[in-house]
Structure formats: structure tokens, C-alpha cells
Amino acid sequence: MPYGCKSIINPTLPEIVKSNNKYMKIYLTQVFDDEGHAATKISRKIVLGRSVTLPNLPKGFTNTLHSCEKMYFNNLSNNIKKLILNNPPNLLREEGKLLYKFGINYSIRCRSLTKYLTRISTDWVLEIAGKENIRKFDKEIGFSDPDKIKKMFTYLK
């Protein structure tokens, strides 16, 4: 994977990760340990977040935003929503495809966008919901982080 800011580079998964189930499992366990959230009684879902920088937004729109201002997806105009939905993070899409190979259903959605000094970044989440999908994740992929293992055990019991 190229060195640098993933939200700007928007990398894809290396082919070796997708080459066999063992590598896919190891990768998914690691990424969910590092950047994911385990299911709890309150959230009832496993969540993995990613961000990506958006190119080619209308200048009229970007000029209306203040630096570090966050705008939630549902509050955006339909034409901006369409632009965003056509640019999800490559890693998140491919991580979802890996989950699907293990029979785990998921959904991907954009939560918000934020303007930084030189760019606008969209914040996305991959969510695994439903006890059946969460059980499959726990059985097929699982966490290695002790706190997340404990949360999953508590949620699934």
C-alpha cells in the first residue's frame, strides 16, 4: 500500500490479501481490531470507518463551508449527495467484498463531510448488523483485541 494519507491516495487492497481466505481473515481481523468497533447492547452493530477526499466539488459549494466544519450527509443537497455516493473509499468497498466472501452481509453509508484547509473529506462507515451477521463475523473473522472480544461475547450471549 502506498505510504501517505489514505484519504487522499484512496488505495485499493493489495491482490495478495484477496488471494486466499487465510490472508483475507488475517487482514479483516487486523483492520477491525485497529479501526473498527465491536457490537454492544447499545450499538448492536460492528462498525468500520474510513474517510476519502472528494475531488471536483462545485466551488460554490466548497466556498460556503468553513474550515473543520462538519456537515451530515442527510443535510446535503441531492446533487452533492450524488457526487459523494459515486466516490466511496476503495478500501471500504473492498473490505465489504471480503466480508461477503465469508457470507457476512454489510452496508456502507456516508455519515458526513468535513472541510479541511486544502480538501474536503467524507466520512464513511461499513456496518455489520443483525445477530446472525455478527455471529458469522465472530466465528469466521473475529477480533484479537481482548476488549473487543469481551464486548462481542457480552453482546452475543
Domain with residue 108: its CATH number is 3.10.28.10
| C-alpha torsion 142→147→151→154, nearest 10 | 100
Residue written as cell 455471529?
Answer: 135
Residue written as cell 456537515?
Answer: 71
Residue 1 is assigned to a structural domain of this protein: no
Give the total number of structural domains in the chain.
1
Distance CA 91, CA 14 (A): 10
Residue 32 is assigned to a structural domain of this protein: yes
Residue 139 is assigned to a structural domain of this protein: yes
Residues 6+ apart with CB under 8 A from 107: 126, 127, 129
Residues 6+ apart with CB under 8 A from 3: none
Domain that holds residue 119: 6-156
Question: Mind listing the pLDDT tens digit for each residue in 7-58?
Answer: 777 889 999 999 999 999 999 999 999 999 999 999 999 999 999 988 777 7
Residue 57 is assigned to a structural domain of this protein: yes
Strand partners of residue 70: 114
Strand pairing class (45-53; 70-72): unpaired
Residue 66 is assigned to a structural domain of this protein: yes
Residue written as cell 471480503?
Answer: 98
Question: Mind listing the pLDDT tens digit for each residue in 94-150?
Answer: 999 999 999 999 999 999 998 887 788 899 999 999 999 999 999 999 999 999 999
Residue 64 is assigned to a structural domain of this protein: yes
Entry pTM: 0.89
Residue 17 is assigned to a structural domain of this protein: yes
